Amino acid sequence: MGTGARRAAWKIVGVCGIAAFVVQLDGSALNVALPQIGRSFGVPLAALQWVVDAYWLLHACLLLSTGAASDRFGPRRVFICGYGLFAAASVICALSPTPEMLIAGRALQGIGGSILVPSSLSLINHACGDDHGLRTRAIGLWTASGGVAISAGPVIGGLFVSSLGWRSIFLVNISICLSGMWLALSYAERVARSAPRGFDWAGQILAIISLVGLVAGIIEGGSRGWNPQVVLLGMAIFVVFGAMFLRVEQRSPSPVLPLGLFRDRVFSCIETAGSAAAPAARCRNRRRGSFIRFPETA
């Protein structure tokens, strides 16, 4: 790959790194704003649990579907649409008059985040071409952008909340998303769509239902304990629809998740570690004092 192509690739990495940053920032910066949000709406902090969790629930459950959409319609187009949806959802959150509206806006933000992640990786993969070393460094930088956002999120959120109020956390997303859209339009190349193939609607729907049951069960289990019927129902949905999903994927000519990937030891180890990370982090945060235990007063 020539020098000019490498420079163009690094520009794409920068554009996609902004997306990784804003997706992770919005998930971590909000925690410090919850006490002020609770006072603003006159509700206890425990009632605001889904303000945080609705974002990650939709984000996790739709990654498979949005990844397939990126291949089908082109990652550049889908990437820009993801930025647009994230910006619109941020406006809804910033102007929310009720907790229910805020939760709905957060759910839309989660959908936007789930669109940005796979499409940004597709753009990086295309920009790097056959240069495997460049691709490795690019994905490492993309991952580091999200890691920086997770670490800096509470600090950034605290600065905005203390000076401009909790709504400013969402308003700042608008400028970031508009900048990202402009950079994507300026530097991201139009990537050819994947060859037309069948869309695994059954697999997509079953995967979403199964993951919703799992994530919702974990979320409610963290706050209610593991005995209530809601938690058991969520786990039952995960097991039943997950088994149906695996059955469909075995027979589908165009599976959304080719099961043969799990024969790769590296892939299997990465997925196992990633799946265990979120519940472990949630339990660790609860031991340290999670957001629902923040003081109600300033």
Give the integer Cα–Cα distance in Å for 127 and 131.
9
Q: Calculate mean pLDDT across residues 283-290.
A: 42
pLDDT at 198: 63
pLDDT at 280: 44
DSSP 226: S
Domains belonging to the chain, first-starting first, are: 1-196 (1.20.1250.20)
- Indicate if the alpha-carbon torsion angle 134, 140, 144, 146 is positive or negative: positive
pLDDT at 2: 63
- Indicate the pTM of the whole model: 0.78
Q: Is the pLDDT of residue 157 over 90?
A: no
- Tokens (6 digits) for 224: 């209610």
pLDDT, the chain, mean: 78
Closest C-alpha to 109, from 34, 174, 206: 174
- pLDDT digit string, tens, across residues 63-113: 877 887 887 788 888 999 999 999 999 999 999 999 899 999 999 999 999
Q: How confident is the model at residue 297 (pLDDT cuts 50, 70, 90)?
A: very low
DSSP secondary structure, 58-121, as one string: HHHHTHHHHHHHHHHH-HHHHHHHHHHHHHHHHHHHHT-SSHHHHHHHHHHHHHHHHHHHHHHH
- Tokens (6 digits) for 188: 């991201």
pLDDT at 142: 87
